[in-house]
Every structure is written in structure tokens, then in C-alpha cells.
Amino acid sequence: MRKILFAVDNSSLSRPVAEITLKLAEAFGSEVVGVHGYNASLHEKAFRVMEPILPEKYREEGFLSKQREFHDKLIGEVMERISLSYLEPFSGMFGEAGVSFRWVAREGKNFKAILEVAEEERPDLVVLGSHGFNRAREGFLGSVCLRVLRGFCGNVLVVKRDSGFGKIVVGLDGSGYSINLLGLVSRIADLMGSDLYLLYVYDTNLHRFIFGKIKSFMYHAGGFSFKSEEQERLHDEFIDKGLRKVGEMVLERGKEVLERMGFRGKVICETVEGFIYEGICRYASRVGAGLIAVGRFGRHRSEGMDIGSVAENVVRFSPVSVLVGGSEGTPEWKL
């Protein structure tokens, strides 16, 4: 991992974001770039909005023009200094650890500034908090986090709280993204001394719903004899066992890949039935994981998508930090 970009905003998650970045940078020997975006134009616009309510003697255009120029310059300088005050404390933190560190303070909408710097720096990983100063309830993602997650197609680590990587749950489905993710996660686990939990979640509800619709249609079709209970039992048995078997095959392949990579840690494999994102999150809670890793897309990616629904919902509802793998490059497994 050559370079890591991490975003700070002086919220409660900034310190955990920096600490996790430091751990990874020390382990991989990575260069670190810190970034903060400050939106001076927001304050400039607010100043313009208030102009009509100023006393009449201050609304003369010549006076307003001078005040705008002074205000814009002052706000720009102050906002930049505030950004640097967020970033500068981390210089000592990374310097003491012998990690190469530099910062970038960029004017602009926060998420745009981060994405611009990411485009320029081409990091192997972007690390940021799941939210800034606002956090409403379970499932809430800050707008900056969500937009960066959607806009940066590489690896993104969304930090939810300060935690170690003692146990890492990897959502595996045999897609190119999840296969490629194994390489990065195995290196992290090796360097951090983490155990890997390979997880396949299969959802029988969708198949049962579709079968129910087919059964209803056939029942109303004139002259068609449908052995409802027998067919339903056979279908459910076939689907349940079949999907579980597919999961076991995927996990076995994943374990073989890790062995070929030379992963030396503990590997646990498990299949779970349920809604996929929910199954991943609940399993992570059950085993006490410190990190969940999922591919950006699964097997059903289509053109125009920026992130799969499972990946996004895992990031939203996970109780721990989530690594979203953004690299494909590997054909999905043919089972």
C-alpha cells in the first residue's frame, strides 16, 4: 500500500481516523496525505444574503463592494488557517512514528475537495469517518462520507469508532470485487495479527417470494393442475440446500486462495441465512469483529451503478468500521 489519504474535520472521529491510518501506514510503510476541505464560498454567499437587511446607509454599492472584498479575503484566510489547525497536530503524531506525512488544505465543498485531492494523489486507500459533527441515528451516514464513497472508485475505509483489527469479517460472494478484496485484507490481517472470518450470506426470501407469485399465477391459469404443497416443499428444500452449498463452495475457494497467498493466520468460514447486509452486520457483532470488509459490487453489478446496495447498507448499519474494496480485475468464480 504505497499511499493513504485520510480526511479530517476536527469531529470526534478525526482522532480514530488518524490512529487507524497510522497503524496501517506503519504496517505497510505507506506515505500519508491528510486533507481538509473548507468551504469559504458558503460564508461569502451568506454575507450576500444578509445585505438587503443592512441599514440603508450601509447598502450603498461602493461601500458594499469594499466590504465584500474585505470579507471574502478575510474569510478565505481564516478558513484556511482553521483547516491547517486541524491538520498540523497530526504532523507530530506521524513524524514521531517515522511515517512520511504531508497535508493539503483545499478550498471548496468538503466532499469535492477530498475527491479532487484523491484524483491528484491516486492513493491506494482513502480513510474517513462515517459522519462529521452530525449523527442522527442507526443507519445515518454523513453527506461527505456518502459522496466520497460514491465518488471515489478505489478502496475506502469508513471509520465508525476506535477499534482494533483483532477479527476481520470478509463478506465473500465469489464476485470479482470480493475476490480481489481478499488480497488486501489478507495483507492487513497478516501485518495486524488478525483472524479472518470468511462469511457467505444467502437470502432464501427472494426465491420463495418469486415462487409464491408463480404458484399464484399458475393456480389461476385455466386447466392447470398445481401440486402446491408438494412443489413448495421441494422448491424450498432445493433452494435452501442449494444456496447453502453454493456458499460452502465459495468459502472453500476463498480459503484456498488465502493458503496460496501464504496467509498464516486463523481462518474461520461460515454460511448464514438472511438478508445479506443484515446478516453480515449481525455476524460481525456476534463474533466481536473490529472490521468488516466487503466488495464495492457483488455479482449483479450493472452499468451506471456507483456502489452495490449490500456494500452501502453494510457501511450504513455496521457496528464497526468497514473497508469497501474498489478493485475488480479478477473474473468472478465459476462454481
CATH superfamily for 1-160 is HUPs (3.40.50.620)
State whether CATH 3.40.50.620 applies to domain 163-205+240-335.
Answer: yes
Task: Tell me the β-bridge partners of 127.
Answer: 6, 157
Q: pLDDT tens digits for the chain (335 residues)? A: 899 999 988 888 889 999 999 999 999 999 999 998 877 565 556 566 666 666 666 666 666 666 666 556 666 666 677 777 777 888 889 999 999 999 888 888 889 999 999 999 999 999 999 988 776 677 888 899 999 999 999 999 999 987 678 899 999 988 888 888 999 999 999 998 999 999 999 887 766 655 555 555 555 555 555 556 655 665 566 677 778 888 899 999 999 999 999 998 999 999 999 899 999 999 999 999 999 999 998 877 777 788 999 999 999 999 999 999 987 666 666 65
**CB-neighbour burial class of residue 19 (10 A; exposed 0-12, middle 13-18, buried 19+):** middle
Q: At what angle do helices 309-317 and 276-287 cross, to 10 degrees?
A: 40
3-state secondary structure of 121: helix
CA angle, 273 as apex, 243 and 203 as ends, to 5°? Answer: 60
In this prediction, residue 113 carries a pLDDT of 92
163-205+240-335 matches 1-160 in CATH topology? yes
Q: pTM of this prediction?
A: 0.82
Query: What local confidence, expressed as pLDDT, does residue 24 receive?
Result: 94
What is the pLDDT at residue 317? 95
**CA dist., res. 268 & res. 245, Å (int):** 17
Q: Which of 115, 137, 109, 139 is nearest to 128 (CA)?
A: 115
Quickly count: other Cβ atoms within 10 Å of residue 36's Cβ: 25
If you ran DSSP here, which 8-state letter would residue 97 be given? T
- Asked whether 279 and 293 are in contact (CB, 8 A), the reply is no
User: Any idea where the domains of the chain sit in the sequence?
Assistant: 1-160, 163-205+240-335, 206-238
**By C-alpha distance, which of 72, 131, 61, 71 is closest to 107?**
72
Beta-bridged to residue 293, according to DSSP, are 170, 323
Euclidean distance between CA atoms 30 and 22, whole angstroms:
9
